[in-house]
C-alpha cells in the first residue's frame, strides 16, 4: 500500500485553533456581540442583495468599501486593506512580510492566531513575555527585537485574552524600536472600539505601522467575516499584490458598506456593553475572584479556591459556556467570560455565585 502524501513538517506537528462549540442556553465564550445588527440594516442588505449581478465577479479592489472605511478613520482608500475577517488580514500581512527565513515577534499571553498564522506561513516565532499585570515590558521587547530582528512585531490591544490595553506611550516605544530594526509593527485592535484609546493616532505616511480592526465584535457581524487594516499606502499596495483575486465577495462588501450607515447604533451598543462589562468586573471582584481590568468586551478572571477546569465544568452544567484559558502561557486556572446581554450576564453571575458557594 502506498504511503499517504505528508504535509510539510511545520503543519504536521501543529495544533489547530479551536474553541468549543457546545449547545448551551448562555454562550459567553467567543467574544461575539450578544445582539444582532439593527433590523434596518438587515432590511437594507436584503434589498441590496436583490441587485447583485451574480454572474459577475465582485469588485476586485473593494474600492467602495475601502473608501467608506477610510472615511471612518480619516484616511483614503489607498490606506485600507479589507479581507475575510481580521485573521485573513493578518495572514496576508505575514504572506507579504513574513515567510521562510523571516520571523514575527509575539509577547505572551496574547491572541493565539498571531503565532498560529506565523507558523502556517512558515514564519518563525520570536517569543517574548508580557510583564507584571500582563502589561508590555519594554525591556523584554527590546531584548526580543535586538536578538531576533523580527520582520513583523505583533501587539494586541486591548489584548486577548487578558483585556489589558497597552498605553500609547508603550506602543510608541515599541514602534520606535521596530522602525529602527526595519520591521513592521502590527497592532491588533479587534476590540479597539471598547477601549478609550487607539493606536490609529500613531499612523503616518512613512511609519511602518498597521492597525487591524474587525466587523465581528462592535458591528455585530461575526457571520460576515470582514476585517481590515489601516496603514501607509505603500504597505497596503504590497498586500494587494498578495491577496487572491476577488477574495472579498460581493455580499460581504455590500454588508460592510451598509453597516457604516449605522455608526450611531454601533456606538450605543458599545456603550451598553462597556457598562455591562464594568458591572461584571465589580460583581465578580466582590466574589473574591482575581479579576483583570478589561478594555474589551470580555473579562479574564481566576477563582482562588477552585481549579479553573472544575469551575468551567460546573458552569457548563448550569448551561453557561465561558472560555477556559489554561492553554495560554501563565493563565493556569483562568477563565474568560464574554459580556452578554443583561439577562445573560445575570445567568452567568448567578451560576458563578452558586458554584463558588
Mean pLDDT of 135-157: 98
Q: Left (φ > 0), alpha (ψ -120 to 50) or beta: where does 172 sit?
A: alpha
Is it the case that residue 302 has pLDDT exceeding 60?
yes
Give the pTM: 0.94
The single-letter DSSP state of residue 53 is -
DSSP symbols for 200-218 = GGG--TT--EEEEEESSST
- Structure confidence by residue, pLDDT tens digits, 178-211: 999 999 999 999 999 999 999 999 999 999 999 9
What rounded mean pLDDT belongs to the chain? Answer: 95
pLDDT at position 326 is 93
Domain count, the chain: 2
Mean pLDDT of 268-293: 96
Task: Give counts: helices (H), strands (E), the chain.
Answer: 12, 13
CATH code of the domain in which 24 resides: 3.90.1150.10
- Structure confidence by residue, pLDDT tens digits, 32-72: 999 999 999 999 999 999 999 999 999 999 999 999 999 99
Is it the case that residue 8 has pLDDT exceeding 80?
no
Among candidate residues 240, 262, 284, the one where a domain is terminated: 262
DSSP symbols for 158-196 = S-TTT-PPPPHHHHHHHHHHHHHHT-EEEEE-TTGGGSS
pLDDT at position 4 is 81
- Structure confidence by residue, pLDDT tens digits, 231-250: 999 999 999 999 999 999 99
Identify the band that residue 16 occupies on the pLDDT scale cut at 50, 70 and 90: low
Examine residue 74 and state whether it is found in any structural domain, yes or no: yes
Is it the case that residue 13 has pLDDT exceeding 70?
no
pLDDT at position 20 is 63
End-to-end CA distance of the chain: 59
Q: Which three cell numbers stand for residue 213?
A: 480592526
In whole angstroms, how far apart are CA 203 and each of 169, 172, 212?
A: 14, 10, 12
Mean pLDDT of 83-107: 98
Mean pLDDT of 153-169: 98
- Structure confidence by residue, pLDDT tens digits, 261-271: 999 999 999 99
Identify the band that residue 7 occupies on the pLDDT scale cut at 50, 70 and 90: confident
Among candidate residues 262, 284, 318, the one where a domain is terminated: 262
Q: Let me know whether 108 and 243 are in one domain.
A: yes
Cα gap 237→242, rounded to integer Å: 9
Q: Let me know whether 131 and 190 are in one domain.
A: yes
Q: Let me know whether 139 and 244 are in one domain.
A: yes
Identify the domain containing residue 340 by its residue range: 19-37+264-356
Q: Let me know whether 258 and 285 are in one domain.
A: no
DSSP H or E segment with residue 234: helix 233-242
Examine residue 9 and state whether it is found in any structural domain, yes or no: no
Q: Let me know whether 171 and 310 are in one domain.
A: no
Amino acid at each position: 500500500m502506498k504511503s499517504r502524501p505528508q504535509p510539510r513538517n511545520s503543519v504536521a506537528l501543529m495544533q489547530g485553533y479551536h474553541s468549543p462549540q457546545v449547545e448551551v442556553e448562555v454562550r459567553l465564550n467567543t467574544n461575539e456581540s450578544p445582539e444582532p445588527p439593527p433590523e434596518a440594516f438587515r432590511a437594507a442588505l436584503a434589498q441590496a442583495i436583490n441587485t447583485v449581478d451574480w454572474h459577475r465577479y465582485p469588485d476586485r479592489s473593494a474600492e467602495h468599501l475601502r473608501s467608506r472605511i477610510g472615511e471612518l478613520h480619516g484616511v483614503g482608500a489607498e490606506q485600507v486593506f479589507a479581507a475575510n475577517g481580521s485573521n485573513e488580514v493578518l495572514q496576508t500581512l505575514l504572506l507579504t512580510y513574513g515567510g521562510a527565513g523571516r520571523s514575527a515577534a509575539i509577547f505572551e499571553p496574547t491572541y493565539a492566531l498571531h503565532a498560529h498564522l506565523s507558523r502556517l506561513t512558515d514564519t518563525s516565532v520570536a517569543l517574548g513575555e508580557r510583564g507584571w499585570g500582563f502589561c508590555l515590558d519594554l525591556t523584554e521587547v527590546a531584548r526580543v527585537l535586538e536578538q531576533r530582528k523580527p520582520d513583523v512585531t505583533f501587539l494586541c490591544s486591548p489584548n486577548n485574552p487578558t483585556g489589558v490595553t497597552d498605553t500609547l506611550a508603550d506602543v510608541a516605544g515599541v514602534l520606535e524600536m521596530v522602525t529602527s530594526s526595519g520591521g513592521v509593527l502590527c497592532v491588533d485592535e479587534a476590540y479597539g472600539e471598547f477601549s478609550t484609546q487607539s493606536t490609529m493616532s500613531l499612523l503616518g505616511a512613512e511609519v511602518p505601522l498597521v492597525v487591524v480592526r474587525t466587523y465581528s465584535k462592535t458591528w455585530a457581524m461575526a457571520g460576515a467575516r470582514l476585517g481590515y487594516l489601516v496603514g501607509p499606502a505603500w504597505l497596503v499596495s504590497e498586500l494587494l499584490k498578495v491577496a487572491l483575486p476577488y477574495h472579498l465577495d460581493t455580499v460581504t462588501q455590500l454588508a460592510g458598506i451598509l453597516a457604516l450607515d449605522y455608526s450611531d447604533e454601533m456606538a450605543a451598543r458599545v456603550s451598553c456593553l462597556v457598562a455591562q462589562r464594568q458591572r461584571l468586573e465589580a460583581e465578580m471582584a466582590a466574589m473574591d475572584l482575581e479579576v483583570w481590568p478589561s478594555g474589551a468586551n470580555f473579562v479574564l478572571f481566576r477563582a482562588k479556591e477552585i481549579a479553573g477546569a472544575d469551575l468551567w465544568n460546573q458552569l457548563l452544567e448550569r448551561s453557561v459556556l465561558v472560555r477556559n484559558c489554561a492553554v495560554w502561557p501563565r493563565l493556569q486556572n483562568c477563565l474568560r467570560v464574554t459580556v452578554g446581554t443583561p439577562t445573560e450576564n445575570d445567568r452567568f453571575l448567578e451560576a458563578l455565585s452558586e458554584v463558588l458557594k
